[in-house]
């Protein structure tokens, strides 16, 4: 069976900031988004915050190689270190390969129920 070409890679980053550094963090986060979005293979980024302080960022790159280049970028590595040492009370990272995807759009003329 021929090997299937690698598809997009999605990273799901969940975190909670330390209360004493939350205001300090935004500049670093903005810089990382600026840097990531300039990387070859960047697809998209989304960020969500919950009322209880949990934050979720979802970033997509078009291939494992482009994801690895971003993961290993020197400025990103430094931001990772700062996050662990200074900003995050807790975090988890899940890196996922996309097996399949479908996009759609709701019919604006459809009535619910």
pLDDT beneath 50, residues of the chain: none
**Would you state the pLDDT for residue 17?**
94
**Would you state the pLDDT for residue 85?**
93
**Would you state the pLDDT for residue 6?**
76
Phi-psi region of 100 (alpha: psi -120 to 50; beta: other; left: phi over 0): beta
The structural domains of the chain, with segments of one domain joined by +, span 15-97
**Would you state the pLDDT for residue 110?**
77
Q: pTM of the predicted model, to two decimals? A: 0.83
**Would you state the pLDDT for residue 4?**
57
Of 12, 16, 18, 11, nearest in space to 54 by CA: 16
**Would you state the pLDDT for residue 28?**
93
**Eight-class DSSP state of 93:** E
Here the tokens at position 46 are 């989304």
Per-residue H/E/C for 1-56: CCCCCCCCEEEEEEEEECCCCHHHHHHHHHHHHHHHHCCCCEEEEEEEECCCCCEE
**Would you state the pLDDT for residue 11?**
97
- Class of 15-97 in CATH: alpha beta
């Amino acid at each position: 069976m021929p090997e299937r070409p690698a598809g997009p890679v999605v990273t799901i980053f969940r975190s909670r900031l330390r209360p004493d550094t939350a205001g300090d963090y935004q500049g670093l986060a903005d810089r990382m988004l600026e840097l990531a979005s300039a990387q070859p293979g960047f697809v998209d980024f989304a960020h969500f915050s919950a009322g209880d302080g949990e934050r979720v960022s979802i970033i997509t790159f078009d291939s494992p190689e482009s994801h690895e280049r971003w993961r290993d970028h020197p400025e990103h590595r430094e931001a990772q270190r700062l996050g662990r040492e200074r900003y995050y009370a807790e975090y988890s990272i899940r890196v996922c390969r996309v097996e399949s995807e479908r996009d759609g759009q709701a019919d604006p003329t459809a009535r619910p129920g």
